[in-house]
Amino acid sequence: MTLSEAAYASLRRDIVRGNLPPGQPLRLEALRARYDMGFSPLREALNRLQAERLVLAAPMRGFVVAPLSLDEMWQAIEARILIESEALRLAIARGGDTWEAGIVAALHALRLAAGRGEAEALEARHQEFHLALISACGSNWLLDFARQLSAATERYRAPILAGESGPRDVQAEHAALAEAAIIRKADVAAAALARHYRLTGELIAARLAA
């Protein structure tokens, strides 16, 4: 991993988790002290994050963490549904035994992390599960867009819900989604995926309103 990639990964993680809150200025001197990195890799990282809409360039202020907005969140959720539903349909059509085994393994790992209450591992395995579902789609473009939209929605879910899911059985939702994909019911799987993401959006919106 290069220095710019390490800077990008560190900044992205802290923005998504809420460690760098919305609206916070991202001054290079402060970032250099925080991450013990030079200006050049930090600038490259900030430019990449700006392209992903996680960071904004503010006149006379340099870069700032992008603000949170319910409208922006719903746009990201609906775009994610659009991209991942298509990727999921392609994966169902193209995926073989290795793809199926990957979904089963990712679901099992997710259940283990949820049962142990390991917040950091849970977030990582949650992302791995959703990527496993679409991993056989055959399109690097779709996978890249899916990762970008995952980060855009995760920065709302991770700090606001902090592991809470309300009355939902999220693990049952994941299991149903995995089963529909593995038995090749593309319409059922795509509908389950859309419902899963929209329920999360509704829960976030309710928490913000409260």
For 39-72, how does the pLDDT look when each residue is reduced to its tens digit (9 = 90+)? Answer: 999 999 999 999 888 999 877 778 999 998 899 9
Is residue 164's pLDDT more than 70? no
Domains and CATH numbers, the chain: 3-65 (1.10.10.10), 70-209 (1.20.120.530)
100 contacts: CB under 8 Å, gap ≥ 6: 182
Q: If you search the block for the tokens 């340099």, which residue do you land on?
A: 62
For 129-148, how does the pLDDT look when each residue is reduced to its tens digit (9 = 90+)? Answer: 999 999 999 999 999 999 99
16 contacts: CB under 8 Å, gap ≥ 6: 54, 151, 154, 155, 158
Instruction: State pTM to two decimals.
Output: 0.84
Q: What is the mean pLDDT of residues 74-99?
A: 97
- CA distances to 86, 157, 201 from 170, rounded to whole Å, are 22, 13, 13
DSSP string covering 192-204, please? HHHHHHHHHHHHH
